[in-house]
Each structure stands twice: as C-alpha cells, then as structure tokens.
Amino acid sequence: MVQDPVTAQSETLRIDGFDDSSSIAQRRLEQQFLGIPSRESAREHLRRLTAEPHVAGTKEGYETALYVRDEIRKYGLAAELKEYDVLLPYPLRPTVVELLAPRRQRLALKEDVLTEDPSSAHARIIPLFNGYSASGDVTGQIVYVNYGLPGDYEALSKLGVSVKGKIALARYGNSFRGVKAKVAEDQGALGLLIYSDPADDGYVQGDVYPKGPWRPASSAQRGSVQYIFQYPGDPLTPGQPSIPGVKRLPIGEATNLTRIPVQPLSYGDARKLLEPLRGPVRPKGFQGGLPFAYHVGGTDDVRVRLNTAMDYQIRKIWNVIARIEGQVENDRWVILGNHRDAWTFGAVDPSSGSTAMLEVARGFGQLLKQGWKPRRTILLCSWDGEEYGLLGSTEWAEENAVELKTKAVAYLNMDSAVSGPNFAAASVPSLWNLIRAVAHEVVDPGSRKTVFQQWQDRASAERHEAPGDQALDSPQTAKISPLGSGSDYTPFLQHLGIPSLDLSFGGDYGVYHSAFDSFYWMEHFGDPTFAYHAAAAQAWGMVALRLADAPALPLYYSDYAAQVREFFDDSMKAAKQRGLASGLDQKPMLQALEDFSREAARLERTRQEVLSQLDADKRDLTNKMKLRQINDALIGAERALTDSRGLRGRPWYKHQIYAPGFYTGYAALPLPDFRQALDDRNEAEAREALARVVQAIKRATAALKL
C-alpha cells in the first residue's frame, strides 16, 4: 500500500497512549493489520450477506447469523449466538391505501422490478410498511404536514388547518420517522402517510436508480416508527433484558409505541394525493420537488382510506457475540458492534458494516495466529433487530449492564459503513483525538491521500462554498459530530455511559430502506471496487487495536470540557433569544466546566509522566498500577456523566450531555433536558436541568481525580 509522507513519518513517532518500546511493536502490528482487509474478500462477504432479504426474526435473518458466526470461527475467534424473545410485528398482509376522492384509486405501494437489478424481483422482499405501526382502518381528508415537526403544525395552525380527525401526509427527512408518528398522534391525526419527496433523496439530488444512485418514483422508505426517543429495545421490557423470567408489560402500556396506523409511500404514489390537494398554498419551506405548487389540503377534495394490519408476535432474534480474551486486563472490554438485520437486502444498511466487521475479524484472527496477545478483551457484536428499534444491542446491554458498567472501555459502532467515499465520524469528545490519529494512518482509496487529509480537504471545500462569514468562522479541522440515536451506540452511551463512536464512509445514497439497497446498487454506485469496505475495516480495526493495547488509554477530557462549553454557549444564545437568559445563573456551570477542564489537563499530564516512567523501568509495578488507576478514571468520567434518575419523562436515557432530541430522534440534542426546557420556554425546568448538568460535570471532575 502507498504511504503518504505524513503516515511514513508518523511511523517513527510514539503512538498516543503507548510508551516508546510498545509504540514500535504496535506500529509493526498495525502495519500487519492494515495489509489484511481486502477488496475481494469484502466483495464476497457483501454478496453473501445480500443474497436474500433478511429482516429481523426471519429464517433468512437466522441464516445470516450463522454465516457471520461461522466466518468468525473460521478466522479462529470464539463466537456464539445470543437469542432474545422480543415483540416484533410483520405486516399480516400488504397495507391498502385507497384514494376515495377526487376519484377512486388504489395506490400501488410496490417497488418496481428493474431488469438491471436482478434482486429487485426477489419474492421475499417485505411489503412497504413501517415497523411498529399500529393496525388500523381509517378514512379521512389528507393534510400535507411537510416534515411533520411541531413547527410545521404551528405553520398549518396559522392557516387554520388541523389534522384532527384527518390523515397526515408527511415527507421523510429532518427527523426520525418515529418523531413524525408521535407528533401526528399528539395532534389528533387518524393516521400518517410518510413519503420520500424527490427534493430530499430523489431526482432533485441527481439521477435516479438504476441510472443513478437516487430514489426512483416507485421506491419508498421502510423503517421503524418506534418512539426510540422514549426508550429503544423491546417495547415490553424497558430497562430490562427480554429473557425468561423478566416481567413483560401489557402491550397497551408500552410507551414507545404509536397508536395510529403509519405507512410509507413512494413519490409516485404520493403525487396522486398531493397534486389534487386544495386548501391554502403551502407555507414557506413546505414545497418539495414534485412539479406543481403544493397545497396543504384539509378539504374533501382529497379523501383517503388507510388500512394496515400488523401481526404483533413475540419472535426470536439472534445476536452473534465473538470474543478475544485480553492477556493483561481481561476485565476491560473494547466492544465493536454492528447490526446485521436489514429491511430488504441492506447492501449499505447494514451489510457494508457487517462486511467490515468480518474483515476486522479476519484481520484479528491473522494477528492472533502471528502471536498477537491483546492487552484487553475485545468483543465483536453482530446485532439483530436494530431496524425495529436497536433490539439486539439494547437487550444485550441491559442484560449485561452491571458488567459493562465496570468493564467497558469503549463501544465502537459501525452501521451503514459504506455508501460512498466520504469519511464521517460521530463520537464523544474524549475519542476525537484517537479518531483523527487513526484517520492519519488509513489511506483513502480514491485519492491515495490519508483519510484525514481527504476529510479535511472536503471540509475546507465545503467551507469555501459556505456564505461569507461562516467561511471565516468555521473550525480548521474536520468536524466530528455528536451522537444522537438511530444506531446501536445508544444503549452503550446514553443508557450506560460508555465512551462511544460511530464511523462511516458516506455518499450519494437514495435507496435507503428500499428494495434497491442491493448488491447491484453497491457495485454500480456505492463502492464499485469495494476498496472503501476495506478502508472501513482498517479504520475500525485500528481504533480497536489502539484501545485494546494502549498501556494508557488515549481519552481526552479537555476536549470534552471544551465541547460542553460550546454546547452551553449555544444553549445560552437560545435562552437569550427566548428571553430566558436573565433568569439563569451561568456561574455554577462555567465554574464546573473550568474545574473539569483543569482536572482533565492535570490527569493528562500525570498520564504522560507515568507513561515515560514506564518506559524507563518496565518492571516497576507501581507505575503499572498507577496506569490502571488513570485508565479507570478516564473510563469512569464518562459513566459519571449519567444520572440514575434519567432525563425528564424518559428515565431510560441516563446521559446528561447526549441524547436524541424529542423532536429530532436521530440528531443529538446536546444538554437535552436543558435545551428542551428552553425550547419549551419553561424557566423553572431549565434551571433544574442546568443544575443536574452541573452536578454531572462535578461528578465527572471527581472521577478524574486520582
């Protein structure tokens, strides 16, 4: 492989968290590892994993579990299935959406069979439906509600239009679909249709499949409408694992389920409802990409029947858990996780990630054969049921909560690992440094620069395109996002307080959750050479290797303090806009953050000192004990940011800094309770939430003290 100057030079440098001599060994190990993930092998994994649709709980899903387990065992690692019994609905029969006015017409609700893409004709493609939709048979006028967020309903209300007793028609985007269901239900809608507007992932973005990578007219987005912002996992066992002996809620008491029927539509179908709508012309921001002026409806001109029938059953799902025993600290775990279940073939989502995991496993297997003895224990977890609501990961994390709280060093997630060439990362701030370091070590296959360089170049190109001031004010390094939800890091970070990250290579991807997220799509658009699958495995494996082997964990809480300060400043701006700033005392928070930052810097210095002393005298047990203490402090600081009382109205979410927003669902709402209280203009709640954040920061500061 080609090395760029930065990488070549950095080979001679000490690796963060390692002393001089272990750096040399680690460099050698890493070079070995980087040579293993291959395009050919990745291509074959993806071909096998996408051979059939493999929805959670199905026979085909079980077969992918066996494939993953057996491949990992072949590479020499221990791997076992881990089964859970969870509430899992399938459509009893395809949903009926029938136009009653302006004319009688049944919508197709079916994705086209494309001659170019052979798998599009597969008989086992699940019909278009939303996971955890209610069963229902409702008839009513259509109201177009844009993205279906509270602000959209406010705009409609100004026009005198309500969805009460009507059927809401929302477009996908700007929020998790479960949020759209929750808001529609709260607004009194009888049912909800969610369609993919061509402005968001169809022809407005580019050529549509199979000519291009974007969504064609017949394609719709499946997906869960579970209220994961309340809690993820099996709806009947919040906070508890779905294992024998655990009491299950009656389904009517599960607070993460919608009560209304919800159904996805293609824009081919949606057009038949949207074009004849009357009522006021859409407010600002509501117009999409179909070729007419959108109206909001809410009149008898368009009336629709929506009839869904879901088969709610307790069904089995299967995680695969592989394990490499740590040789020095087997009671400290580095966990890699990726889900395996897909709505259809899931070439991108999630099989590109599963492929990367298999290539990591193959790499680790070869290192083990060559004598590698990881310092800490490594777990590779292939989750089932993620699409329905992070079922496999949540149940497993809940089952192993006590052990994880003590032992987990970090949780490293990959979901849709590859849909294009653009590296992206989300993580807690303590892991920023490590992600950037690893991005310096992996080569971007397209440009032959380092992934880091390519990532930076793209970021500065985007800054150049941004209007005037932003271009000047933007940070000089590529951004690492906060973690929201929508993938399996949620139980680890937000329920248990384990430092987490999520990595991916993104691109033009318009077939999300459709029958066209297929091997053909990947070979023609996402990653024709499979080089990015290999790069994803390299990056992911490298992060794991460093966390598993570093004598001193490379976690940085000074970055964490700076990031929380930024979140706080943003929130105070929002408070100012809402006229709430004067009632909030900023001092305790600013003081807590200053202390946190100072303590973090002190621990970092100590960590460096001990590391150098380690280098000087390998046999000194005092220093080794000291390092264990330091590492535990670094792991413990993240745990200390959780609050056992949980967030307001959603006790499952314990983390005080990171949670999905109530009204975003996917995207993080940093300082969630504080920010939500500001958005609700509730000063008393804002004060209380801020006080809890201050307490959390103080706990984390205490955790860093040796």
Catalytic residue status for 386: yes
Of 75, 132, 203, 229, the one binding a second copy by CB under 8 A? 203
Residue 467 binds a second copy, judged by CB under 8 A: no
Per CB under 8 A, does 652 bind a second copy? no
- 137 membership: H or E segment, kind and range: strand 136-144
List all residues 6 or more positions away from 88 whose beta carbon is below 8 Å from its beta carbon: 56, 57, 312, 313, 314, 315, 317, 385, 388, 391
* Nearest partner of 485 among 499, 497, 502, 498, judged by Cα: 502
Whole-number Cα distances in Å, 61 to 263, 460, 534, 548? 23, 42, 24, 31
Tokens of 121: 């004709």
Min dist CB 170 to a second copy, Å, is 19
Residues contacting a second copy: total by CB under 8 A? 27
Residues 353-392 that bind a second copy (CB under 8 A): none
State the nearest-atom distance from the C-beta of 515 to a second copy, in Å: 21
By CB under 8 A, is residue 605 in contact with a second copy?
A: no
Q: Which stretch binds a second copy (CB under 8 A): 342-350, 461-469, 512-520, 583-591?
A: 461-469
Q: Which of 468, 476, 587, 644 binds a second copy (CB under 8 A)?
A: 468
Q: Binding residue for a second copy (CB under 8 A) from 25, 92, 121, 293?
A: 293
User: Which runs of consecutive H residues, i.e. helices, occur in 159-297?
Assistant: 177-186, 198-201, 267-274
CB atoms within 10 A of CB 161: 22
Q: Which stretch binds a second copy (CB under 8 A): 205-213, 515-523, 599-607, 672-680?
A: 205-213
Task: Mark the segment that binds a second copy (CB under 8 A) among 36-44, 123-131, 256-264, 283-291.
Answer: 283-291
Q: Which of 21, 106, 121, 292 binds a second copy (CB under 8 A)?
A: 292
Extract the runs of DSSP E, i.e. beta strands, from 530-613. Answer: none
Query: Which one of residues 28, 74, 369, 576 is an interface residue with a second copy (CB under 8 A)?
Result: 576
Closest by Cα among 697, 647, 683 to 668: 647
- Among residues 12, 469, 644, 684, the one that binds a second copy under rule CB under 8 A: 469
Nearer to a second copy, 110 or 578 (CB): 578
Distance CA 150, CA 146 (A): 10
Interface with a second copy by CB under 8 A: which range of 4-12, 130-138, 566-574, 614-622? 566-574
Find the shortest distance in angstroms from Cβ 466 to a second copy. 11
Cβ proximity to a second copy: between 40 and 469 the closer is 469
For 227, phi then psi, to 5°, come to: -85, 70
**Closer Cβ to a second copy, 212 or 651, answer by number:** 212
Q: Which residue among the candidates 30, 52, 386, 395 is catalytic per the annotation? A: 386
Spatial distance between the Cα atoms of 364 and 32, rounded to a whole number of angstroms:
10
Q: Quick check: 214 binds a second copy (CB under 8 A)?
A: yes
Which lies closer to a second copy via its Cβ, residue 267 or residue 653?
Answer: 267
CA dist 540 and 534 (Å) reads 10
- Specify the amino acid at residue 362: R
**DSSP letters for 625-682:** HHHHHHHHHHHHHHHHTB-TT-BTTBTT--BSS--B-TTTSSSB-SSHHHHHHHHTT-
Identify which of 507, 485, 504, 517 has the alpha carbon closest to the alpha carbon of residue 224.
485
**Is 113 an interacting residue with respect to a second copy (CB under 8 A)?**
no
**DSSP β-bridge partners for residue 315:** 86
Containing 323, the helix (H) or strand (E) segment is strand 310-324
Q: Does the footprint of a second copy cover residue 507 (CB under 8 A)?
A: no
With binding defined as CB under 8 A, does residue 251 bind a second copy?
Answer: no
Nearest to 575 by CA among 692, 674, 454, 440: 674
Q: Which residues bind a second copy (CB under 8 A)?
A: 198, 203-208, 212, 214, 281, 284, 287, 289-293, 465, 468-469, 471-472, 570, 573-574, 576-577
Q: Which residues form the catalytic set? A: 386
